[in-house]
Structure 1
């Protein structure tokens, strides 16, 4: 009797602890009440051992899957032959099962038996696996039993173990990707879109793009050479906006200032204008709003002015007065001269009413580096001042001090500068100065356009919204 079960495919449920075993019956021992399975599966996975023996004490439920006979066998020994008439194929999956039939045994404890049939290899509904799976009965709304597939069986019931031993072939799958063909298709699409865009660009003109500082309204062509001087043979400079500013000789510059005085731009008014412009530039060089704040009053910048007894010296003193009014510590160097220009005396009287300090000896100047040195020692009319002892001592002090130097209205000279300046400030129109490492700036001193025309200069202001603009050599 026991040998008749050999070769049958069974599914043994040993409870939640041991799980479910499936396989082909290899032997049944009635004495020890055990059953052995060949090529067993445990919970849907192939066991690492070729044979498993299960005791009858551990068996909770036993299901037979007999492919040859297709009959249902109960654990009580009763056998009921049933002819299989149809195959359930309602859902397209890798398994098909027969409807479940309850056992005809009179023993109420006997569990229902379900017969499962494996789909042959090569079927359109098969994934190549030959493992038999089962379905459990479930009662819906107390009615008839329907075959339902549990979630665990859906996820783990397929025979996927056949592909576990095979590594994924990355190189082979990468070789299937034809890079050249894909990129050729992309380039072809881009080429078609570019040709379409090129075709459309002829149909409608592309609107130009503008910068934030460009005007979108159509206007006349820009003329960058708006200043012309008679018999110009000197140097030329340009502003940041590209306007050309030519240089003029000192004699023409002198006639221009004289014409402005005849029309009411006196020396005193010119000195005030130069003092304001040079102060504005000096405050910017000292740090501007980042340095001159109420919270930084304990670190006031220090500026030394080196002035001579002439108009250029008066310009420097005017600058020092405005700097002192802006909380800058100013030290004015001016030797004790017997004869000085009237404008210098007037500016000294005003400077004495500020918090600035005036010294007449180089020894009284600070020995430590300061923030800025303003040089107004030179004169256009008298270049022999460079030979004076006070001039040499002041120039030596400025060169030894590590502070940067701003030179205001220096004269035209072929000789080297006695004080190396980092910045140079010219008035009205620049003079043809010798090219040095000094950066050139130009300040507006308030001369009207008709005054320029009176001396033969066609003039249009290059300053824009500023009073001091940088100049670059052309």
Structure 2
């Protein structure tokens, strides 16, 4: 009996997710309860597939529009009554659209009711699953949305094909494109440099400024400042001669110690953190410095630095060996006396050195006059062992020249006036101003112009 409806034109209203289908009945499968239509339209849009199969549980309402004979005649005379809307087809209003759809649906209707609680996407055959997902909610929605079908009538099948990104990426020849770009003569504008008020527009021909000349080629070594000024190294004998001439003019040892002690304290405070570490709001993190001083003028410089650091609120412990107290010079004794008035800690034995964390160690144990003999003292050896165990940054004040090495392994070293030729174990180097007039430099055969600028202590670097 089902064969008598073959070829008839029907309108099938499915569940909400599938929408409405129209077409010619191609076959009816009573076993699987399925209906196949050809020349199918889904919600007024022609399907891409030649045939669509719909299961009986998905059908809500079925109307017979034309008999098999009428449908056959219509197919012969016309392309198809339910053809896909074109861009030229326009409707003045939704009312005109509804009237046209009513004319298409005028026919005796036979209704078939069906119910289902299963997922519609699982009930559809593979042929109509793609079209089923594209359907509207109901017939009323399909009528209302048809005027916008031109925007959303793309091939639904294309949306279900997985895009091959890797294959598409291989189509782009990156190397060839870059060769094409690099082959073009592209004029690039050079950005204009903006100068500060203190910069020269015309660069100097010589980047290294040799404004200090010693007239002695016996020491073949020199250093550079951040400004590119060349500072030649001098021998220890010439430096002693320079300091003696300065003392004759009035720049005494005491004045030189005060000047260099201030520079050493400034360098140490900057290395400890400067304003970030030394301010009233950070009193709970007061730096702790240990100063090791030998019984010689270089040790007096370390004691002077310890006193100036203590006056800046830094916690200081000063060590001066006890075994050589009888050999103290008057300058050393005077510096110790002034330091004791600060109330900071003063010890005479290596055993009393702190075992806890120390921020920095300042070394003034080396002497230029008897370097090897000084480093053989038991207190110097014990101090070196203590510093190595502590693993704290060490600052050497006025270390000995080559071929001697500092008693402790310093991270930084501070030289006075003009640098000596130091060993490679002296660490990063700094230079302190001693405020000696140019006239004194000329007396010892040195053409001198201050490299310090607005500072009292500057970093210097070994010149290759």
TM-score by length of 2: 0.65
Match of 1:263 in 2: 249
Kindly indicate whether residue 294 of structure 2 is the aligned counterpart of residue 308 of structure 1.
Answer: yes
- What displacement does 1:280 show? 1.2
Task: Give per-residue Cα distances to partners, 1:168-208, cap 9 Å, x unaligned.
Answer: 5978xx79x9756x9868865764xx43628xx8xxxx566
Taking the aligned partners of 2:157 and 2:461, their CA distance within structure 1 comes to 78
Taking the aligned partners of 1:386 and 1:286, their CA distance within structure 2 comes to 29
Judging changes above 3 Å, is the alpha-carbon distance between structure 1 residues 160 and 49 closer, same or farther for their aligned structure 2 residues? farther
Greater relative contact order structure (CA < 8 Å, 6+ sep): 2
Give yes or no for contact 1:210–1:216 (8 Å, CA) kept in 2: no
Judging changes above 3 Å, is the alpha-carbon distance between structure 1 residues 63 and 151 closer, same or farther for their aligned structure 2 residues? farther
- What displacement does 1:247 show? 0.8
Judging changes above 3 Å, is the alpha-carbon distance between structure 1 residues 445 and 12 closer, same or farther for their aligned structure 2 residues? same
Judging changes above 3 Å, is the alpha-carbon distance between structure 1 residues 64 and 257 closer, same or farther for their aligned structure 2 residues? farther
Match of 1:283 in 2: 269
Taking the aligned partners of 1:48 and 1:61, their CA distance within structure 2 comes to 17
**Mapping of residues 108-257 of structure 1, within 5 Å:** 150-152=144-146, 155=149, 164=157, 179=172, 188=180, 191=183, 194-195=184-185, 197=187, 206=190, 209=193, 215=199, 217-221=201-205, 222-234=207-219, 235-257=221-243
Give yes or no for contact 2:291–2:303 (8 Å, CA) kept in 1: yes
Match of 2:131 in 1: none
**Mapping of residues 62-461 of structure 1, within 5 Å:** 62=65, 66=70, 92-93=86-87, 150-152=144-146, 155=149, 164=157, 179=172, 188=180, 191=183, 194-195=184-185, 197=187, 206=190, 209=193, 215=199, 217-221=201-205, 222-234=207-219, 235-334=221-320, 335=322, 337-338=325-326, 340-368=328-356, 370-383=358-371, 386=374, 391-401=377-387, 402=390, 403-412=392-401, 414-461=403-450
Aligned CA-pair RMSD = 5.1
3-state SS of 1:229 partner? coil
Judging changes above 3 Å, is the alpha-carbon distance between structure 1 residues 226 and 365 closer, same or farther for their aligned structure 2 residues? same
Taking the aligned partners of 1:207 and 1:270, their CA distance within structure 2 comes to 50
Taking the aligned partners of 2:105 and 2:352, their CA distance within structure 1 comes to 117
3-state SS of 1:48 partner? strand
Taking the aligned partners of 1:96 and 1:316, their CA distance within structure 2 comes to 100
| Structure 2: tracts of 5 or more residues without a match | 28-33, 107-141
Give yes or no for contact 2:366–2:375 (8 Å, CA) kept in 1: no
If you compute each CA radius of gyration, which structure gives the higher value, 1 or 2? 1
Taking the aligned partners of 1:13 and 1:387, their CA distance within structure 2 comes to 108
- What displacement does 1:430 show? 0.9
Taking the aligned partners of 1:248 and 1:393, their CA distance within structure 2 comes to 31
Match of 2:53 in 1: 48
TM-score by length of 1: 0.64
Count matched residues. 392
Higher helix share: 2
Task: Give per-residue Cα distances to partners, 1:262-316, cap 9 Å, x unaligned.
Answer: 3332222211111111111222333333433435434533333332343222212
Taking the aligned partners of 2:152 and 2:458, their CA distance within structure 1 comes to 85
3-state SS of 1:195 partner? coil
3-state SS of 2:187 partner? helix
| Structure 1: tracts of 5 or more residues without a match | 28-35, 72-82, 103-110, 116-147
3-state SS of 1:262 partner? helix
